[in-house]
Amino acid sequence: MEVSGARAAVYVGLVSIVIALAWRVLNWVWFRPKRLETFLRQQGLSGNSYRFLFGDVKESSMMTKEAKSKPMNLSHDITPRVLPHLHQTVSNFGHNSFIWDGPTPTVIISNPEDAKDMFPRYGDFEKPRLGSLAKLLATGLANYDGEKWAKHRRIINPAFHMEKLKKMVPAFNECCSEMISEWEALVSEEGSCELDVWPCLQNLSADVISRTAFGSSYQEGRKIFQLLLEQIELVVALFQSVCVYIPGWSFLPTKINRRMKEIDKKIKSSLEEVINKRKRAMKMGDGTKDDLLGILLESNFKEIQQHGSKERFGMSTEDMIEECKLFYFAGQETTSVLLVWTMVVLSMHPNWQHLAREEVLQAFGNNKPDFDGLTELKVVTMILNEVLRLYPPAYTFYRNVDKKTQLGKLTLPAGGQITVPTLLVHHDKELWGEDANEFNPERFSGGVSMATKGRLCFFPFGWGPRICIGQNFALLEAKTALSMILQSFTFELSPSYAHAPHDLKQSSIMLKESTSKPMNLSDDTAPRVLPFIHQTVKNNGIQLLESSYLLFFFFFFFPKMQMPSLEQHLEVAMKKEEEYFNSRRSKLNSQLKVYNLSTFQDEESNRKEIQQHGNNNNNVGMSIEDVIEECKLFYFAGQETQLFYFAGQETTSALLVWTMILAFPNWQDRAREEVLVVFRNQKTDFDGLNHLK
């Protein structure tokens, strides 16, 4: 009887545990979300009704996939593409609305007054907890809360004081000079080149971080960055798979998990070696360096001394490793993205590119930028602020609500989230006027305060006590790089550019993966050469073939070669052509046949066209502007030594080498037979070439 009673007690206990667990799960996925929804609606908030377990996740995922499936028009109205679900929610339900992140409601805070109230209250609104994958990239200051955040912020602050940043400008100049020299090597004395600037600007930002963070140890810093870059690519790839949603997946010994842990170990050991080496040098009396690591170590040492030399009051080596990782992760991405969008926008608005160049040349001439001059650049600052408004580095800011909290007129329940959608606020016509989606740096001519009219509607780096500690570093680097680019080049968008914000990382990863190994001897080259386009067309249809992803390609020209401009040269040339056209007609025609410029009409043909329709009819024939444009096309298409294409080879040489590579000897024999029949052992001639079938 006692045994039976004990068994019954065990069974009752097990059943109770199962029931308790089942209740907790059911409460989490249903009852709790429904209670929170009722509470939010009582506050006057609107949104979709809660859907079991997934909430709005499926709808949001489908909308994002649809938005990114094709490029958009060349417009700055990017919100429907980048944040389609948030954009639709606000459009349907207004500013006082919420969305569902699974079973968790997220209240949208787009009112400037509420955002201004939220940002300083970092104790009431803490950052969401990092997952295991995100921790592999970086934790550090940006992801801490409470006392740990306050301590780290206090220790790191001195490294980003303006007086310290002033000493880093020479390092900025050195890194930028190396990139500029590489670009100049691609551009001949009187020509141009087509260049994907995104990887160049990524490398620039990485070099800047390496030099300014580690000083003389920047070579070790470069190696660390390459490892971190690989880690980012692996994490992004995992986030795009279903594996990331399987609990405990990161602990399985898969190939990618093993590689990520191996990289993490290498990064930490390399950083630890650099940090310990610097600590030993400081103990030996070697003066503190003016790089970020040296300043950080000095500040940390002072913090420990102020608390009686107790190590626990400072940052541990592990803490410093995480902060160094964060320097790379946040600093490199932010500045390179800002620079590339600035170049895109200035290519779309060449008048502002011209104004910025004039200001830079007036401030520095051909000399390298200096700190005092950079801080006085008004037009460049206006442009950068407007780019940060249209293309902010952080599209949204999320915060947890762990206890019932008052925010403005809203009472927020415990267990939810809030989000401040930077992109929506920056593009809000009620706040910025009807031209909110247009590029207009003039709005910042009186500074940020005047542009925002004292409201919190411009916060690309956050706001309040937790504002990005590196914003001055990022802006100073961006001003330096942009100034040196403007000193050396003019630039415009390449014809291969497609406006598709937010696809860059994915296309970059796919291209790197596809070119990392040789392919079989096959003619099916599309998956290797254009992997992202190939995949997009495969998934969404051939109609997207013409332009389906973001390529930051630009044509670069030396500004000095534009004086006098190409148009002025061509106008003079056309006038001279009138004087001796008849004597040169036969030679000109033969040249035009060689270059196959079929749309170009010589002066006689153009004159006949006008005469046939009456000499006073301005709607027929080619104007001088038309002829100039055709000559420009002729110039850039025909100059082998002056135009460099995406693959790094001129069109004809690329065609020839691929023709010789093709592994079909039977066709080689047939081609040789035809050539020998037509020309025998004589040199080729025009008529014979035209008969080669």
**C-alpha torsion angle, residues 256, 262, 268, 269 (rounded to 10):** -170
Is 420 among the domain residues? no
58 token code pair = 């499926």
What pairs with residue 274 in β-bridges? none
Per-residue pLDDT, averaged over 648-661, amounts to 74
- pLDDT score, position 497: 77
Q: What whole-number distance in Å separates Cα of residue 392 and Cα of residue 334?
A: 9
pLDDT reading at 225 higher than 70: yes
Q: Which tens digit of pLDDT belongs to each residue from 229-275?
A: 889 888 877 876 666 666 677 788 888 899 999 999 999 999 999 99
Query: Is the per-residue pLDDT at 609 higher than 90?
Result: no
Residues 308 and 378 in one domain: yes
Placement of tokens 């392919």 in the chain: 519
Cα separation, 659 vs 691, in Å, equals 19
**Nearest alpha-carbon partner for 270 in 312, 213, 212, 201:** 213
* pLDDT band for position 577 (cuts 50, 70, 90): very low
Asked if residue 85 is part of any domain, the answer here is no
**Hey, what are 638's tokens?**
């025909």
Looking at the chain, the whole-number percentage of residues with pLDDT higher than 70 is: 77
In a shared domain, residues 582 and 537:
no
Cross-strand pairs, 479: none
Last residue in a domain, options 468, 493, 518: 493
Distance from first CA to last CA of the chain, Å, rounded? 102
Average pLDDT of span 74-91: 95
- Give the bridge partners for 178, in sequence order: none
Question: Which pLDDT score is estimated for 137?
Answer: 84
- Of 49-63, 292-306, 614-628, give the lowest mean pLDDT range: 614-628
Whether 56 maps to a domain, the answer reads: no
The pLDDT value recorded for residue 639 is 39
Structure tokens at 661: 């590579």
- The owner of tokens 């040199």 is 683
Instruction: Please check whether residues 277 and 336 belong to one and the same domain.
Output: yes
Q: Please report where in the chains the tokens 């040339």 appear, as a residue.
A: 573
Domain match, 180 and 279 both = yes
Q: Do 468 and 354 sit in the same domain of this protein?
A: yes
For residue 130, being part of any structural domain is answered with: no
The answer to the question of residue 326 being in a domain is yes
pTM of the model: 0.74
Contact 203, 178 (CB under 8 A): no
- For residue 158, say if its preceding peptide bond is cis, omega within 30 degrees of 0: no
Integer Cα distance of 80 and 91 in angstroms: 10
Q: Mean pLDDT throughout 209-213?
A: 90
pLDDT at residue 655 is higher than 90: no
Do 258 and 147 belong to one domain? yes
- Tokens 């001059």 belong to residue: 373
Residue 229, both tokens: 């870059």
Distance separating alpha carbons of residues 420 and 100, to the nearest angstrom: 15
DSSP letters spanning 172-231:
HHHHHHHHHHHHHHHS-TT-EEEEEHHHHHHHHHHHHHHHHHHGGGHHHHHHHHHHHHHH
Query: In terms of Cα–Cα distance, which of 53, 54, 56, 84 is closest to 68?
Result: 84
Q: Determine the pLDDT at residue 565.
A: 40
DSSP run (H or E) holding 418: strand 416-420
Residue 210 located in a structural domain: yes
493 DSSP β-pair partners: 554
CA distances from 230 to 131, 185, 386, 528, 631 (A): 19, 28, 32, 19, 46
For residue 192, give both structure tokens.
Answer: 């141009």
Residue predicted with more confidence, 404 or 562: 404
The residue among 619, 642, 665 that closes a domain is 642
DSSP code for 167:
T
Token match 């247009």: residue? Answer: 438
> Which residue from 495, 499, 487 is spatially nearest to 555, judged by alpha carbons?
495
Do 543 and 569 share a domain, yes or no? no
What does the mean pLDDT of the chain come to? 82
Give dist(CA 256, CA 239) in Å, integer: 12
Are residues 485 and 571 located together in one domain of the fold? no
CA angle 257, 260, 266 (to 5 degrees): 140
Strands 125-126 and 192-196: unpaired
For residue 49, give the amino acid letter: S
Instruction: Give CA–CA dist 54/60, Å, rounded.
Output: 10
Vertex 586, ends 585 and 591: CA angle to 5°? Answer: 95
Q: What is the pLDDT of residue 75?
A: 92
Between 354-368, 372-386, 491-505, the lowest mean confidence (pLDDT) is in 491-505
Which among 333, 378, 372, 379 is positioned nearest to 508, based on CA atoms? 333
What span, in angstroms and rounded, lies between the C-alpha atoms of 110 and 94? 10
283 is written with which tokens?
């103990």
- At 642 the pLDDT is 37
Same domain, 466 and 588: no
Does 193 appear as a known binding residue?
no
Does 278 lie in the same domain as 306? yes
| Percent of the chain's residues with pLDDT above 90 | 48
The alpha carbon torsion through 274, 276, 277, 282 (nearest 10 deg) reads: 130
Query: Quick check: is 615 in a domain?
Result: yes
Report the C-alpha gap between 250 and 227 in whole angstroms.
19
Q: How many domains is the chain built from?
A: 3
Length of the chain counted residue by residue? 693
**Structural domain that includes position 513:** 504-547
What Rg, from alpha-carbon coordinates, does the chain have? Answer: 31
What mean pLDDT do residues 212-237 have?
83
Mark whether 464 and 355 lie in a shared domain.
yes
In angstroms, the Cα distances linking 517 to 1, 226, 604, 675 are: 73, 18, 55, 37
> Of 508 and 308, which is predicted with more confidence?
308
What lies within 8 Å, CB to CB, of 15 at 6+ separation is: none
- Is residue 554 included in any domain, yes or no? no
Q: Per-residue pLDDT tens for 470-523?
A: 999 999 999 999 999 999 999 998 877 777 675 555 565 666 666 666 777 776
| Residues 127 and 445: beta-carbon distance below 8 Å | no
**Whole-angstrom distance, CA of residue 336 vs CA of residue 407:** 35
pLDDT tens digits for range 525-566: 777 666 666 665 565 544 433 333 334 455 555 543 343 344
| Whether residues 188 and 302 fall in one domain | yes
AA identity, residue 414: A
Lowest mean pLDDT among 29-43, 287-301, 647-661: 647-661
**Mapping DSSP to helix (H, G, I), strand (E, B) and coil, where does residue 98 land?**
strand
How remote is the C-alpha of 563 from its chain's centroid? 33
Among 249, 326, 340, 240, CA closest to 550:
340
| Longest Cα–Cα distance in the chain | 124
The span from the CA of 392 to the CA of 514, in Å, is: 30
For residue 46, which phi and psi values (nearest 5 degrees)? -125, 155
Give dist(CA 402, CA 391) in Å, integer: 31
Q: What is the DSSP string of 40-89?
A: HHHTT-B-PPP-TTTBTHHHHHHHHHHHTTS---S-S--HHHHSHHHHHH
Q: In the beta sheet, which residues pair with residue 400?
A: 126, 417
- What the block records as the tokens of 431 is 């706040």
CA–CA distances in Å: residue 402 to residues 103, 126, 380, 405: 15, 8, 42, 8
Closest among 171, 98, 72 to 410, alpha carbons compared:
98
Which of 547, 582, 612 is where one domain is finished? 547
The CATH number of whichever domain residue 235 belongs to comes to 1.10.630.10
* Burial of residue 552 (number of CB atoms within 10 Å: 0-12, 13-18, 19+): buried
